[in-house]
Amino acid sequence: MEINLTEKNENKIVFVLKDTDHTFANTIRRVMISETPVLAIDEVNFYKNNSALYDEIIAHRLGLVPLKTDLKTYNLKEECSCKGEGCPKCQLNFTLNCTGPCTVYTKDLKSQDPKIKPVYDNMPIVKLLKDQQLEFEAVAKLGKGKEHVKFSPGLIFFRNYPEITIKKEANAAKCIKSCPKDLFEVKDKKLIIKDITKCDLCEACSEACPDSIEINGSTKNFIFEIESWGQLTPKEILEESLNVLDEKLDEFSKKIKSL
């Protein structure tokens, strides 16, 4: 197996995973989406809310606010030494008290732990008119995407690595025009591919020029994209998913030995 990084920034990585199969790639993807824990608001106690939105709607919006997550400090509630009762090792509180006229933003949430705060300061929660007031206490905990999508760490997907064959007498002008991703160019009188990783296998080129181009998706090489919502870095998402998979396999192996 081989990993080649093709794109990396704060919230996104793209890499080519080589010499593996669809089952392995999809296992990693599913573990990342549904088993990698992140923090999210899970409970809200409203003390005052005479805004235009019901408590339930505001609570739902708060649940979807991405919170910077520290996996070293916090445990999953069900795995915590408090046995799920809730303690500073598995949950934290946010408070908010705003009086209108104003727009309440995520930056108005006051966190009990200075390390943990909303990823984005300027997400609107609700608009308050004159004399309207919103006051609540919210409890955030670690959770997994399989429990609720608010605990999902990002948008993660992969596609088959494109395999493009350009035949000898290719109609260059027609091929270049057919590709919506502008993938082809002519160099030294030959039709070439600029950046094959940009191809999303739409097959527009092979449909427009069946005599010039043949296109297939590889069954052992894949292009993986991890786009984080901001709670964890893309690398942390990948690393944590492998830890989770490791633990699951260890547990499975122990169970088998005890049979």
Decide whether 92 or 166 has the Cβ nearer to Zn ion.
Answer: 92
With beta carbons less than 8 A apart as the criterion, state whether 231 and 143 touch.
no
Decide whether 143 or 234 has the Cβ nearer to Zn ion.
Answer: 143
- Minimum Å distance from CB 45 to Zn ion? 19
Which residues inside 125-144 make contact with Zn ion, applying CB under 5 A? none
If one asks whether residue 80 binds Zn ion (CB under 5 A), the answer comes out as yes
Report the Cα 238 to chain-centroid distance in Å: 10
Largest CA distance in the chain: 75
Locate 150 and state its tokens: 């608010």
Task: Name beta bridge partners: 136.
Answer: 46, 96
Tell me which of 52, 64, 82, 149 binds Zn ion, using CB under 5 A: 82
Which residues inside 190-249 make contact with Zn ion, applying CB under 5 A? none
With beta carbons less than 8 A apart as the criterion, state whether 213 and 165 touch.
yes
With beta carbons less than 8 A apart as the criterion, state whether 223 and 16 touch.
yes
Closest by CA to 216, choosing from 201, 204, 205, is 201
If one asks whether residue 73 binds Zn ion (CB under 5 A), the answer comes out as no
Decide whether 44 or 90 has the Cβ nearer to Zn ion.
Answer: 90
Closest by CA to 238, choosing from 220, 224, 223, 219, is 224
Bond into 101 cis (ω within 30): yes
Decide whether 93 or 97 has the Cβ nearer to Zn ion.
Answer: 93
Tell me which of 87, 129, 155, 173 binds Zn ion, using CB under 5 A: 87
The residue type at 112:
Q
Q: How many CB atoms lie within 10 A of CB 122?
A: 9
Tell me which of 17, 65, 90, 104 binds Zn ion, using CB under 5 A: 90
If one asks whether residue 14 binds Zn ion (CB under 5 A), the answer comes out as no
Closest by CA to 161, choosing from 23, 17, 29, 30, is 17
- Minimum Å distance from CB 69 to Zn ion? 16
Interface pattern 22-61 for Zn ion (x via CB under 5 A): ----------------------------------------
Decide whether 4 or 73 has the Cβ nearer to Zn ion.
Answer: 73
Decide whether 48 or 89 has the Cβ nearer to Zn ion.
Answer: 89
- Minimum Å distance from CB 82 to Zn ion? 3
- Positions in the binding site for Zn ion (CB under 5 A): 80, 82, 87, 89-90
